[in-house]
Structure 1
Amino acid sequence: MPKLQYDYIIIGAGAAGLMLADTMGKDAFFAEKSILLLDKDTKETNDRTWCFWEKGAGLFEDIIYKEWNHIFFAGKGFSKRYAIPPYTYKMVRGIDFYSAYLARIRTYPNITFKNESVTGIDEKQNEVHIHTSAHTYSAKEVLNSVFDYKMAIRQNTYPVLQQHFIGWVVKTKKPVFDASQATYMDFSIAQKGNTRFMYILPYSTDTALIEYTLFSEKLLPKDAYEKAIKDYLHDKLDCSDYEIVEKEQGSIPMTCYDFKEHHTDRIRFIGTAGGWAKPSTGYTFMSTSKKIPQLIAFLKTGKPLKELSFKNRFWFYDLLLLDVLHSDNEKGHLIFQKLFKKRDPQLIFKFLDEDTNIFEDIYYILGCPKIPFTKALIKRLF
C-alpha cells in the first residue's frame, strides 16, 4: 500500500517545484516532514530554455550550458553591442536542470517524486486532498505550480499580456552567428501593431537558438512564428541553408495580477501560477530562485499560506509599463530603444532585478518615454 498522507505536497516539477523541493530537502527544519512531489511528466526531455543575468558565480554554475559577456540590442535605425560585466548573461537548458535537481531530490529520504496526473484538489478544514490518476493523497499544505491562464484573465483590474514565442535551434552550413554575444532584443523586424523582436542565443558561429517573441494579448498561428524565423535567417543573416535541430515554444503571462484570490490557508500557488514571472519581462527563473527562500521562511512560521505577499514598489513600475503596452502595443520597441540609448545595460539589469535604490529608480524611469508613462500614471491614480 503506497503512502497516502504527507505534510507537504508540491504539484509540478518545473523550475519552481524542483527548486522548492530541493531547498526543503536541504533544510533541517523539514527533515522530519514528509514531502510528495507530483508531475505527470518524467522530465526527461529538453522542453525549454531559461536565461538570466547575474554577477559572478551563482547557484546554477554546474548546469550553465552557455554564457555571454556581451549583448546586442537593435531597434529602428539604432543598434549597439554592449559589454555587460560585472554581469554575465547565462543559459540553462531544461533537461540539464531537471536531471541535476531530480538527482539531488532522490537523495532526500523524506521526499518522494511520483509521475501522476492531478485530476482534482479538495481543501478540507484540516488538510487538502489531492486526487490523481492513480491515488488520492492528503497533505497539511499544498504548493501548486500548475498555471491556467483563466486564473489571470477572469478580472479586469490588471491587463494581461503574454510573452509568446517559438524558437528553433538551427545549425547552419556556414558561420553566421557571433558566438560572443546574445541578441537580447532585435526590433528591426516588422512590428505589425505589436511589440515583436528576435532573440538569439548563439552556441557557436554555426549553431544558435533563435526565438521570434511577442509581448501582446493574442497568440499567432504557428506558421506565422516559423515564417518570421525563416525570413530573419534569410533576410537578416543571409542564411538559407540550415538544419533545425530542436524546437521549443511557450507563453508566459505578463501581468501584475497577484493571484491572491487563488491562495487559501492551505494551498499556495508558486512559480508562474503564483505570479512569480517578472511582469514587465516574463523572466521567471531567477525571480523564482529569489522567492523560494522567502517562501521557505514563511512556511516555518506556520501562518496561513494566503498571508504571504511579494508586492513591492517594482510591482507598480511593472504595472505602468503593462498599462502602456496594453493601450498601444506597438509602443514597445520605442520604449526599449529609448531606454537602451540612454541607459547602460548594467542599470537596466539592476532595475529589472529589483536591486536599485530610489534614486536609481528615478534615473532609470527618466530614460523612458515620458508622455505614455505619465498618462498611464494619471489613469491609475485618478
Structure 2
Amino acid sequence: MLHYHYIFTGTGLAALLTVREMVQHPFYQDKKILLLDADAKKTNDRTWCFWDEGQYFENIQHKAWETAVFADAGFERRFAMAPYTYRMIRGLDFYAAVFEELHQNPNLTFIQEKVVDFQELGNHCLVKTENQSFTCNFIFNSIFNPEPLIAQKKFPLVHQHFVGWMVKTETPVFTPDCATFMDFSVPQKGNTRFMYVLPVSENEALLEFTLFSANLLQREEYEWEIKAYLERLGVTAYTITETEQGNIPMTCYPFWKHNSERILHIGSAGGWTKASTGYTFKNALKKSKALVDFLLQNNDLRKFHNINRFWFYDLLLIDILYRKNEVGSSIFASMFRRGKVATIFKFLDEETTISEDLNIILRCPKTLFIKALWHRFFGY
C-alpha cells in the first residue's frame, strides 16, 4: 500500500490552490502528495469572479471590469471599482493552467478514481477509492457532505442558487466595460432575487438569475426570468452559447468541528465559502495560503480554524435572510446606496477596521439586525 505525506480527496478550487501554494514553498519539496478525484476537470463546469488589486491569475482571466452597477427598484448606482478590478475566470481555463503547472512537479501524483471512504487511524490516515487504498500523514478533504448541516437547526442554510446563460445578441446591447454586480429591480416574489450580468462585448454577456433563499426553483423559472430580463433590455434575437447552473451553501455552520488531528475539511466542505455572499475564489485563496503556512509549525489540524467578528456578522445576516427572505434587497441596497464602495468590498474581504465595519453596519436596517441578535441569543 503506497504511503503519502498528504492526500487531497477532491481536486476542486480549494485543493488545487493549496497544492499550488505547497509546491512553491521549499518545505514541501520532499513531500509526496496524492490528488484523487473521479472528475478529470476537462469541462468548463463553473465561472469564478472576484475583486482584487491585480495579484491573482491575470494571465488566465477571461474578462475584467473597472466599473460596475448596483440597482434596486428605487435607484441605480454606477461606480468605479478602484482600487479593485472585478475579474472573471472560467473553470476550464483555471484547471488547465494549474494542472499544467502542477504536472511539472515530480512529487505529485494524480489518480482519477472516486473516493469511497477515508478515516484517521491513530498516527496515520487511510483513504479508499473504488479500486485501491492508500495511507498518508494528513488528509485534506473537499468532498462536501451535506448531511450534518441538514440534520441541525441552529445554523440556518440559505442557498445561493442560479442558472446562467451566455448569450450572443444580433444587435449591440451590453456595455462591455461595466459589470452588473447586483440588479434587484427584478420581481422579488417574497425572496432575495437579482440579476447578475457580465458583458464580454457589446453583443455577448453572461446573465445569471440568482436567489439567496432557503428553497430552490424549477429550472424553467430561472430561465423565464432571464428571458424576461433580456426582453426588458430590448433583446429579441439572441443565441445561447453556454449554460450553467449552481447551488452554493450560505451558512455559518461550524464545519471545522468535523476536523480531526489529521483530517481537515477544505473548500465548501470546510466552510471556506464566504457565508454572507457565497463568494468562494478569494476566500479559498486566503485560506490556502494560511493553511500552507500553518503546516510549517503545526501537526494538529484541529487548531487551524479561528472564528473572527466577520463570522458573527455573517451569522446575523444569514439568520435574517432565512427568517425574512424578502428583505434581502433592502439590506444590500442600504450598503450600496451611498458611501465608498471600495470600503464595502474591503468589508466583504474581511479586511476592514472596526470603525469601518460600523460605518457600513449602521447604514443597514437596524431593527432587522437587533431582532436577529435577540433571536440568536434568546430565541433558540
Q: TM-score, normalised on structure 1?
A: 0.96
Distance in 2 separating the partners of 1:163 and 1:374? 24
1:296 lines up with 2:292 in the alignment: yes
1:347 lines up with 2:347 in the alignment: no
Aligned position for 1:6 = 4
- Give the one of 160, 174, 188 matched to 2:185: 188
Contact 2:161 2:216 in 1 (8 A): yes
Aligned position for 1:75 = 72
Q: Which residue identity lines up with residue 374 of structure 1 in the other structure?
A: I
Aligned position for 2:364 = 368
Distance in 1 separating the partners of 2:68 and 2:182? 9
Aligned position for 1:280 = 276
- Give the one of 333, 337, 346 matched to 2:329: 333
What whole-Å deviation, never above 9, does each CA across 1:342-364 have from its counterpart, x for those lacking one? 33221110100111101101111
Q: Identity of paired residues, percent?
A: 49
What whole-Å deviation, never above 9, does each CA across 1:10-60 have from its counterpart, x for those lacking one? 1111110111111111111111111001111111111100000112x2121
Aligned position for 2:241 = 245
Aligned position for 2:90 = 93
Contact 2:119 2:127 in 1 (8 A): yes
Could you tell me how far 1:76 is from its partner in structure 2? 1.1
Q: TM-score, normalised on structure 2?
A: 0.97
- Give the one of 35, 38, 55 matched to 1:37: 35
Aligned position for 1:176 = 173
Distance in 2 separating the partners of 1:360 and 1:290? 21
What whole-Å deviation, never above 9, does each CA across 1:256-315 have from its counterpart, x for those lacking one? 112123211111000111101001000010001011121112222243212211310100
Q: Which residue identity lines up with residue 202 of structure 1 in the other structure?
A: P
Aligned position for 2:131 = 134
State the Cα RMSD in Å.
1.2
- Give the one of 149, 159, 170 matched to 2:146: 149
Distance in 1 separating the partners of 2:70 and 2:208? 15
Could you tell me how far 1:161 is from its partner in structure 2? 0.5
- Give the one of 158, 163, 166 matched to 1:166: 163
Select between 186-195 and 341-350 the one with higher mean Cα deviation: 341-350
Distance in 2 separating the partners of 1:7 and 1:303? 12
- Give the one of 296, 307, 310 matched to 1:311: 307
Contact 1:21 1:37 in 2 (8 A): no
Q: Which residue identity lines up with residue 42 of structure 2 in the other structure?
A: E
Distance in 2 separating the partners of 1:186 and 1:127? 50
Aligned position for 1:61 = 58
Could you tell me how far 1:80 is from its partner in structure 2? 1.5
Contact 1:343 1:367 in 2 (8 A): no
Distance in 1 separating the partners of 2:266 and 2:114? 18
Q: Which residue identity lines up with residue 208 of structure 1 in the other structure?
A: A
Could you tell me how far 1:217 is from its partner in structure 2? 0.9
Contact 1:73 1:186 in 2 (8 A): yes
Aligned position for 1:52 = 50
Count of matched residue positions in the alignment of Structure 1 and Structure 2: 378
Q: Could you say what secondary structure the match of 1:342 adopts?
A: coil
Could you tell me how far 1:368 is from its partner in structure 2? 0.6
Aligned position for 2:19 = 21
Contact 2:256 2:271 in 1 (8 A): no
Contact 1:254 1:281 in 2 (8 A): yes
Q: Which residue identity lines up with residue 233 of structure 1 in the other structure?
A: L
Contact 1:25 1:111 in 2 (8 A): no
Distance in 2 separating the partners of 1:242 and 1:152? 41
Distance in 1 separating the partners of 2:149 and 2:89? 27
Q: Could you say what secondary structure the match of 2:190 adopts?
A: coil
Contact 1:342 1:367 in 2 (8 A): no
Distance in 2 separating the partners of 1:302 and 1:337? 43
Q: Could you say what secondary structure the match of 1:41 adopts?
A: coil
Select between 354-363 and 57-66 the one with higher mean Cα deviation: 57-66
Q: Which residue identity lines up with residue 346 of structure 1 in the other structure?
A: A
Could you tell me how far 1:378 is from its partner in structure 2? 2.3
Aligned position for 2:104 = 107
